[in-house]
Amino acid sequence: ELVLGIESSCDDTGVAIVTGDGRILAQSLASQNELHAQWGGVVPKLAQGAHQEAIDGGIVETTLEKAGVRPEQLSAIAITIGPGLSLCLRVGVRKARSLAAAHNLPLVPVHHMEAHTLIARLTAGVENVQFPFLALLVSGGHNLLVLVRGVGEYVQLGSSLDDALGEAYDKTARLLGLDVGGGGGPALEKLAKQGDDKGIPFSVPMIRKGNCDFSYAGLKTAVRLAVEDKVGDDPPSESNMQVRADIAASFQRCAVKHLEHRTKRAVTWARELEPEISCLVVSGGVASNQVVRARLAEVAEQAGLPLICPPPSLCTDNGVMVAWTGVERLRLGLTEAPPTEEQAALEATGEVDVSLKPRWLLGERHPMAVQLGS
Ligand code: ATP
Ligand code: FE
């Protein structure tokens, strides 16, 4: 197999070509961190424009060239159709569909979070990440603990009741006045290295809730109050440097402890359903954080499970994960016929809309998660 993957669900345009045995022939990524840095979050209209610019600039064609692959040699085109921002998803989907129409290639519609999960099978090798396994997915929009029984077979053990951890990192970074041009998470992680992680007594969320759900709203408020109290409106300076680092480190310690607690319980829940889970996968943008990786490595070790964490560049959004999910789905025949060229032309102009799944859940919630949820 030879699959082209296109990702445009949020603020990164990712394109890659991957083989059936998991070789990455080429990949490209157009990131928009700088573009959104000044706005306090991703601005959908701006993101859409940047995706369009990357596509019109030939990011797909360039990637094919880098790989030395002609479109007609492809086995399929994989495309993220959700969850994410409709305006952004549409840009990638239109491109994928017109290319599929032009070369009569099957399409593989991909769930963005499934791609964040299955990429672990490419990076660690399918023999090391066999179904069933447990996955902790932590990104900008999701906190999920899922039992992965197979491609497309997910049982949600827990999810966030409010913010995702990546979002909490981003907001905390902004509150602390950090330069978020390279991403809020990495900036906060860096500052936290210089801080005392017990310097500020934040409490770990949901300690007494016996389920696997997450919540970061309370911690976020506690951080805001600490910043108001200890830093006020003062701009970053030598004199408030230490207290800001302490806030960052203390936030990170509590936030990650919360991940540890929920994941430990999820291992037990998962084993009740599937006694033979093969490993713990930790993926999504926040999984590129060194503290997260180290703490979860310990959880995995205590549970007697190998920890599988993709390399940081494949934890954040990328085209490789979409292409690889395309490979996995193609093998199971989970493809869609391409549109006709006439149809694709109507879609390109917007006369006919393409179908997207901006709010697409990954699997069903476990009955226990429903019962113990709030
Ligand atoms: P989703 O996958 O839920 O749709 P997304 O695609 O926007 O959201 P990702 O690209 O997977 O999210 O991850 C981006 C998030 O990861 C951002 O919130 C970012 O701050 C966070 N992140 C990236 N690197 C780090 C890091 N080193 N430490 C903490 N957080 C990080
Ligand atoms: Fe993502």
Share the mean pLDDT of the chain: 97
CA distances from 184 to 10, 137, 170, 221 (A): 15, 18, 4, 17
pLDDT score, position 373: 80
CA distances from 209 to 206, 215, 262 (A): 5, 11, 10
DSSP string, 6-64: EE-SSSEEEEEEEETTS-EEEEEEEE-HHHHHTTTS--HHHHHHHHHHHHHTTHHHHHH
Crossing angle for the helix pair 184-192 and 290-303, to the nearest 10 degrees:
80
Amino acid code (one letter) for 141: G
Gap between the Cα atoms of 123 and 98, Å rounded: 30
Gap between the Cα atoms of 334 and 336, Å rounded: 7
pLDDT of 227 strictly over 90: yes
Position 348 confidence tier, pLDDT thresholds 50, 70, 90? very high
- Percent of the chain whose pLDDT exceeds 70: 100
Gap between the Cα atoms of 176 and 115, Å rounded: 32
Pocket of ligand 1 (CB under 6 A): 9-10, 84, 112, 116, 139-142, 164, 166-167, 169-170, 183-186, 189, 284-286, 288-289, 316-317
Point out the ligand nearest to the CA of residue 10: 1
Atom of ligand 1 nearest to the CA of 42: 7
Gap between the Cα atoms of 178 and 138, Å rounded: 22
pLDDT score, position 359: 97
Residue 171, Cβ neighbours under 10 Å: how many?
20
State residue 214 phi and psi, 5-degree precision: -120, 155
Crossing angle for the helix pair 165-175 and 184-192, to the nearest 10 degrees:
70
Ligand 2 (single-atom ion) residues, CB below 5 Å: 139, 317
Atom of ligand 1 nearest to the CA of 288: 27
Structure token pair of residue 79 = 């495309």
Give residue-wise pLDDT tens across range 322-331. Answer: 999 999 999 9
Expressed in angstroms and rounded, the spacing between residue 283 Cα and the centre of ligand 1 is 10
pLDDT score, position 368: 84
> Where is 280: in which H helix or E strand?
strand 280-283
Crossing angle for the helix pair 184-192 and 238-273, to the nearest 10 degrees:
110
pLDDT of 342 strictly over 80: yes
Give residue-wise pLDDT tens across range 30-87. Answer: 999 889 988 888 999 999 999 999 999 999 999 999 999 999 999 999 999 999 999 9
Gap between the Cα atoms of 230 and 218, Å rounded: 18
- Tell me what ipTM this predicted complex has: 0.99
Choose among 362, 308, 354, 373: nearest CA to 101.
Answer: 354
Expressed in angstroms and rounded, the spacing between residue 238 Cα and the centre of ligand 1 is 29
The terminus-to-terminus CA distance of the chain in angstroms comes to 45
pLDDT score, position 38: 86
pLDDT score, position 374: 60
Residue 282, Cβ neighbours under 10 Å: how many?
28
Atom of ligand 1 nearest to the CA of 166: 18
Expressed in angstroms and rounded, the spacing between residue 170 Cα and the centre of ligand 1 is 9
Mean pLDDT across the stretch 223-237?
94
Gap between the Cα atoms of 28 and 66, Å rounded: 9
> Where is 27: in which H helix or E strand?
strand 24-31
Taking a C-beta distance cutoff of 8 angstroms, is the pair 40, 113 a contact?
no
Give residue-wise pLDDT tens across range 187-199. Answer: 999 999 999 999 9
Ligand 1 probe mutation, 43, 86, 89, 169, most atoms within 8 A of CB: 169
Question: Which residues are bridge partners to 150 per DSSP?
Answer: 153
